[in-house]
Amino acid sequence: MRGSDHYEVLNVDRSASPAEIKSAYRKLVRQVHPDQGGNAALFRLVQEAWTTLSDPAKRAAYDRQLDNAGTPTAQPRTTTREEPDPAPADPFTWSTEQPWANTSQQQQHDQPPPQPQDDQPQEPLHRTDSGPVHAVPTFGRWRLPALLALALWTALLVGVYLSDGIQDAWDIALGVGIAGMLVLALPPHWSRRVPLSALLKVLGAVTAALYLAMLLFANDELSTLDRALVVALVVGLVVVRVLTGRWSKAHALDRAVDRTATYEFNLWGRPGEPLVETTLAAPITQYDVMLQRRTANLLDPVVAALPAAKLVHGAQLGAMVVDHLLLNGHRAALVLSLAGPPGAYSLDAYGGLQHNGQPLDSPAQALEGAVQSWRARLRQVDVRGFLIIRSDTGKVTTHYRSDAPVTPLAPQTAARDLLTWLQPEGNVVDRQVLYDILHRAPYGLT
């Protein structure tokens, strides 16, 4: 069983029919498949659960094993939110195998990559909190007030226009201007679908300006009711446009980082590759690619232990690429790895890496620069750098300063240290921060 219940893995009851088990497996395997950005360890666990429960004989033997072990029946979960059920904790152990091997486009290093020695943790990392994942900003912001304001203002606009009736060509021309005002008030993600929307928006702005001019220069000719209606139309147009504009921005965020990405996806990019295809990022050797894949194995259990954590391989800020970015709430860890000799590692007063008290050429200072750049980019996020130092010939020990932006880590304790630093943020996904990291920072957009 590997410490987990196959029924819990597939999120079905023990009384589930074969069709229900098959449906749950198909849905889950699409979410966790490594080619779709899922977790390799969880994918293997889902496959194992399906292999057992899809075979009637194996399932019967497995049920007897559960009964003999006194394992309680997995009950169906009920929830009032649309987030996924938390994955089982125990099976997430270190993996030395990754399904995303891609060696054809990298330059071969003259030395083979180091073989794992100290990657196994002293104990597996367990999920720190099985509570719900909360998304901020919430989905559908501004939609209800924008739609309500748009409906009321539209009713007033049409009522004012139809109150005098359509008598001549000027009334028809005014109707076109009224239609333009309506298009101008629509949320941008709606108005873009209207034919000739740009022209209609210009006509709408001109019509609103004429209404305002009539209020200012023909005030004596207007009754109190007419003045109130004109003020309501002009002011209402401004208020509605502000609300629909805010809703449209929230709608764009809802589409870019949707519920699936927020609650289910925890991995973007591939180790050894930049997040987006650009000519700015410098190519790296196959040796470094393999080193990054080994580091990715260390980070998988951290992501599995934090329900709201997001892992971005090859995160970019313009032309600057970091190997891995771990995001949990409003804390982000920039992670690089380094292969070196055994011994004690520390940082000097200038941020350089020292080995047994002697300066050592390393990416520590480059990582510090990346931390400063990401801090300037994500002002609401606490960004810190972590340098994982590996050795295949002996033990690595590290010493760090709490005030330094970069922390050296030994591989055998790296996952635990990262989990300790990220865990206080809880189960919060800031979708705006994730959107910036995935869709704006790689292109240098502000």
Predicted pLDDT at 38: 60
Sign of CA dihedral 306, 307, 308, 311: positive
Q: Cα dist. 210→36, 95, 163, 178, 252 in Å?
A: 55, 70, 18, 11, 33
Average pLDDT over residues 329-349: 93
How open is the CA angle 273-278-284, to the nearest 5 degrees?
35
Residue 412, both tokens? 């055998």
Do the beta carbons of residue 53 and residue 6 sit within 8 Å?
A: yes
Predicted pLDDT at 139: 92
User: Tell me: the pLDDT tens digits for 299-321?
Assistant: 999 999 999 999 999 999 988 89
Using pLDDT thresholds of 50, 70 and 90, give the confidence band for residue 90. very low
Outline where DSSP puts E strands in 60-202.
Answer: 134-136
Q: Which distant-in-sequence residues (6+ apart) come within 8 Å of 103 by Cβ?
A: 286, 289
Residue 357, both tokens? 């008290």
- The count of other CB atoms within 10 Å of the CB of residue 157 is 21
Q: Cα dist. 187→140, 141, 200, 208, 431 in Å?
A: 13, 13, 14, 17, 21
Predicted TM-score (pTM) of this structure: 0.67
Using pLDDT thresholds of 50, 70 and 90, give the confidence band for residue 223. confident
As a whole number, the mean pLDDT across the chain is 82
> By mean pLDDT, which of 30-44, 106-120, 324-338 is the weakest?
106-120
Residue 385, both tokens? 């750098």
Q: Is the peptide bond before 116 cis (omega within 30 degrees of 0)?
A: no
User: Could you tell me whether strands 324-328 and 310-313 are parallel, antiparallel, or unpaired per DSSP bridges?
Assistant: antiparallel
> By mean pLDDT, which of 136-145, 216-225, 260-269, 435-444 is the weakest?
216-225
Please report where in the chains the tokens 């309500």 appear, as a residue. Answer: 148
Percentages (nearest 5) of helix, strand, coil residues in the chain: 50, 15, 40
Q: Measured over all CA atoms, what is the biggest interatomic distance in the chain, rounded to whole angstroms?
A: 94
Do the beta carbons of residue 401 and residue 347 sit within 8 Å?
A: yes
Domain boundaries, the chain: 18-90+98-139+264-443, 143-256
* pLDDT surpasses 70 at 35: no
Predicted pLDDT at 345: 94
* pLDDT surpasses 80 at 2: no
Do the beta carbons of residue 356 and residue 384 sit within 8 Å?
A: no
Please report where in the chains the tokens 């990220």 appear, as a residue. Answer: 422
Predicted pLDDT at 58: 87
Average pLDDT over residues 360-383: 94
Of 395 and 94, the structure prediction assigns the larger pLDDT to: 395
The residues with which 344 forms a beta bridge, in sequence order, are 397
Reduce the DSSP state of residue 271 to 3 states and report it. coil
- State the Cα–Cα distance between residues 291 and 271, nearest whole angstrom: 9
Predicted pLDDT at 240: 97
* pLDDT surpasses 70 at 3: no
User: Could you tell me whether strands 358-360 and 353-355 are parallel, antiparallel, or unpaired per DSSP bridges?
Assistant: antiparallel
> By mean pLDDT, which of 39-53, 61-75, 90-104, 144-158 is the weakest?
90-104
Average pLDDT over residues 379-383: 95
Residue 338, both tokens? 């380094």
Average pLDDT over residues 237-254: 95
Predicted pLDDT at 87: 36
Question: DSSP characters for 370-424?
Answer: HHHHHHHHSTTSEEEEEEEEE-SSS-EEE---TTSSEEEE-HHHHHHHHHHHHGG
CB neighbour class for 341 (10 Å; exposed up to 12, middle 13-18, buried from 19): middle
* Nearest of 328, 344, 351 to residue 420 by alpha carbon: 328
Average pLDDT over residues 336-364: 91
* pLDDT surpasses 90 at 244: yes
